[in-house]
Structures are given as C-alpha cells and as structure tokens.
Copies of this chain bind each other. A is one copy, B any other.
Amino acid sequence: MQQIRLGIAGLGTVACGVLEIIAQRQSLIAARGGVELVVTRVASRTPKPEIDLLGASFSTDLDSLLADDVDMVIELIGGEEAALDLINAAVRADKLVVTANKAVIAKHGNELQDLRNTIGFEAAVAGAIPIISSIERGLIANRFEHVMGIINGTCNYILTAMKEEGASFADALVRAQELGYAEADPTFDVEGIDAAHKLAILLALAFDQPFNFAQLHIEGIAQVTADDIRYADELGYRIKHLGIARQVDEGIEARVHPTLVPNSQLLAHVDGVMNAVLVKCDAAGDTLYSGPGAGGSATASAVLSDVVSLAQRKGSNMRIASAGAEVSSVPILPMAQVRSGNYLRIPTKDEPGVFARVAQALSQHGISIEAAIQKEPKAGQTTVAIVMLTQMSSEADIEAAMDEVRELPQVAGEIVRIRVEGFD
C-alpha cells in the first residue's frame, strides 16, 4: 500500500484534530482510501505542547517540513505571509500541500504553482462540507448558473439570535463572543471579509476563473436591525448573510451582503453557526450542501479528505489543466450593473400621502413595488416606517431612486436597503 509521509505545520485545534483522527483510524483510512498516512514531522513556532505527535519529530522551524521524509505539508499555522511562504516553499520542494487557509488561496491562489494539482483546500470553505469536491468533481460536467451560500458561521449565529430573541446586533455579537463563535476582534467575520475569501474560492472553481478577491463587493451585517428582521419575517423572508456568485449575460456577479431569502428556500432555514451552499447548474439543477462551517474536528475532517485525495493522485499521471486560463475573459460585473430586488425601510413623518410620494419617486426610476407594510405610529411617535419590497432593478437605478426619496421633505431618517435574492 502507498505510504504518504505528512509534515504538519501548526499545532492549534485543527492540527490536534488531524493528529487525533490519524491516531484513532489510520488503518480504517488505509482500507477506505488505499493510502497509509504517517506523520513524520510536526513544526510549530510555539514550543511543543503535551500532545501525542504519533512518533513524529518536532521542530519550531517550519522549514524542517521541507525535508526529504515529508511527501505532503499540511499548512495549519494560519496568518497570511508565513503561510504563503511555507506553501510556496513546499510546492517548490515538490511536495503536495493541504491548507485550511482561505485568505492565502483567495488572495494568492493565482500565484501558486499548479494549484489544482498540488494543493488541497477543501477545509478553506464551509468547514466539513465537501463543497470544493462537489463543485470540482461531483458537478464537473455542468455549467454553473449561481453559487450562493451562508459561509460565515459568526454572521449566521448573530442573525439567528437576532431573529429568535429580537436581540440587537451588538447584544447578539457579545453573546457570540461569550460562546466562542466570534473573535474578540470580530471585524473579519462581521464585516464580511471571511465570507468574501470563501466566495472568491467558490467563484474561481465554479466559473473556471482566476481568483478575483479584490473585485468582490463586500458588506457586513452591522447595519441589520432587529426591526428589519421582524419586517422581513412579516413579508415571508429571513435575512441571511450570503456570498453570491452568479453568471449573467454580461459577466459574473460577485458580492457578499445581507440578503432577504424567501422562507420557501432551504437556505432560509439554515440557522446558528451552520453553513450552507446552494449551487445551481444546468444539468444537475439545484443542489444544496449544509453543515458545520468551523470547528477543530470538522475542519480536520475536511483536511484529511484532501490528504487522501491528493495522496491517491500521487503517482498517477493525471493532470488537471487550469481551467481558469481557458475562459477567464468573463468579467466580474461592476456592482452598478448587478440586479436584485430590494427591501427598503424608510422612516417618514406621519403625514397623509407619504406612501404615494415615495412610490412615485421610485417609479420615476423604473422601480416598482411588490409588497409593502405601513404601520400606525406607536404612541408618542411622530415618525413611521414604510417598509417595501421592490421588484428587480439594477444597483444604479435603485441607488438613484433612493437619492430622490431622500430628498422628500417627508423622509425623516436614514433609509435602510437590504437586497432580496432571486433563486430561479
């Protein structure tokens, strides 16, 4: 049986999960995968912890993993520069690489040598869910129409808590931090950067494109209020933070933002820290993949699936071309040309005829209204919220219409806009 000698970089929860699984089921994995996994080296810049390294030698020097007794480097140190350096060095030393590092792949994937044949990154997107493999292999015969997903567990936890408990964003964030679902500095997650890294990877694979992280439109969830979640619910929608890549005639839409998802979609019911990716293809139709998006053992599960897959290919003459090179002329669409429905919440003075004035202003820009809620003002309040769903329009048109609405003397505060996604 083929033996693969592993060098593990990093000793955090994912690395410990990988070591633990190999310790428990080396022979089961060998029977299932035809590959015997042997950990020969572990390197971490922090001193060796008290865990079982399965006989591997330990070093605080990451370069020790480039030695001849390592066939595959598993990069789990996190961060960006050091990880990129290690991956590059490993590839140059003719080693296979497995990484869970979404930032490195999303931002530097185009520079990495022979990425598709030498580097596994299933763990970089949506944790345990085999979404990379499903797109690259399960759906290999398809043209992709859209890939959209809940790909940040922190955002989904916060939005779920806001929905279920009527909590504010700030309170839900504190709770998420207490439970370990959000970092002390949550910027990366709640501002959508993490989701954008993942979307950049999904987009590149599904649409045979280079990695395009810099061109993504990115919004976070800090502006979403419990009121908006409640109004959306009344209209039959959940608010989810989605990464969306969609092929349209003019190019590819690529964007990360809060989104109203109709209750009829499974995606609307993916709650808490769960992730889910919905893929629409021409032959396979709509398929959805959901599961835990993070966590040491879930990520370790994905890392090991890559380890076995790459190991199985070692010694075969199979080469995947960089499909991106073939069709990379498809442009990422500027945000102004992106089309979606819109949820608008417009604070107005409680005066007769306000709704008609707003509707007229929208209509002048070709925006028609699909549904609306207008409530009586609460006791003692002189403003009232008009909530409406508009039909599909371009970003340019809805922005222009909103500029016009803002000028109305009856409008009494900031207009909130959240996009509504179509699933056809």
How far, in angstroms, from A356 to B417 measured CA to CA in the complex? 56
A288: nearest residue on chain B (CB-CB)? Answer: B290
Within 8 A of B (CB), among A9-31: 17, 21, 25, 27-31
Number of copies: 2
What's the minimum C-beta distance from A80 to chain B, rounded to whole angstroms?
26
What's the minimum C-beta distance from A232 to chain B, rounded to whole angstroms?
18
A21:B130 contact, CB within 8 angstroms: no
Note all chain B residues with C-beta closer than 8 A to A134: 130, 133-134, 138
A321: nearest residue on chain B (CB-CB)? Answer: B31
Note all chain B residues with C-beta closer than 8 A to A284: 127-128, 291-292, 297-298, 301-302
What's the minimum C-beta distance from A206 to chain B, rounded to whole angstroms?
11
Q: Does A424 contact B (CB under 8 A)?
A: no
B308:A140 contact, CB within 8 angstroms: yes
Interface hub of A35, A139, A282 (most chain B Cβ within 10 A): A139
What's the minimum C-beta distance from A298 to chain B, rounded to whole angstroms?
5
A289:B289 contact, CB within 8 angstroms: yes
Q: A266-B269, A318-B312, A323-B31 are in contact. Are A139 and B287 (CB under 8 A)?
A: no
Q: Does A49 contact B (CB under 8 A)?
A: no
Q: Does A300 contact B (CB under 8 A)?
A: yes
Note all chain B residues with C-beta closer than 8 A to A141: 21, 25, 29, 300-301, 304-305, 308
Taken residue by residue from 283 to 319, chain A's Cβ proximity to chain B (1 for < 8 Å, 0 otherwise) reads as: 1111111111001011011101100110011011111
Q: Does A326 contact B (CB under 8 A)?
A: yes
A298:B315 contact, CB within 8 angstroms: no
Q: Does A281 contact B (CB under 8 A)?
A: yes
Note all chain B residues with C-beta closer than 8 A to A30: 321
Note all chain B residues with C-beta closer than 8 A to A301: 139, 141-142, 281, 283-284
What's the minimum C-beta distance from A151 to chain B, rounded to whole angstroms?
14
Note all chain B residues with C-beta closer than 8 A to A308: 137, 140-141
B32:A323 contact, CB within 8 angstroms: yes
Taken residue by residue from 16 to 55, chain A's Cβ proximity to chain B (1 for < 8 Å, 0 otherwise) reads as: 0100010001011111111100000000000000000000
A268: nearest residue on chain B (CB-CB)? Answer: B269
B130:A138 contact, CB within 8 angstroms: yes
Number of interface residues of A (CB under 8 A): 68
Within 8 A of B (CB), among A138-158: 138-143
A317:B2 contact, CB within 8 angstroms: yes
How far, in angstroms, from A316 to B320 measured CA to CA in the complex? 14
A31:B304 contact, CB within 8 angstroms: no
A126: nearest residue on chain B (CB-CB)? Answer: B287
A292:B285 contact, CB within 8 angstroms: yes
Within 8 A of B (CB), among A236-290: 266, 269-270, 281-290
Q: Does A208 contact B (CB under 8 A)?
A: yes
Note all chain B residues with C-beta closer than 8 A to A297: 282-285
A312: nearest residue on chain B (CB-CB)? Answer: B318
Q: Does A122 contact B (CB under 8 A)?
A: yes
Q: A140-B305, A305-B139 are in contact. Are A288 and B291 (CB under 8 A)?
A: yes
Q: A140-B33, A288-B289, A291-B287 are in contact. Are A316 and B305 (CB under 8 A)?
A: no
A208:B32 contact, CB within 8 angstroms: yes
Q: Does A129 contact B (CB under 8 A)?
A: yes
Note all chain B residues with C-beta closer than 8 A to A285: 128, 291-292, 295, 297-298
User: Can you list 15 A-B contacts with CB-CB less than 8 angstroms, sorted by A residue number?
Assistant: A2-B317, A25-B141, A25-B143, A29-B141, A33-B140, A130-B130, A130-B287, A133-B137, A137-B308, A138-B305, A140-B308, A266-B270, A281-B301, A284-B297, A315-B317
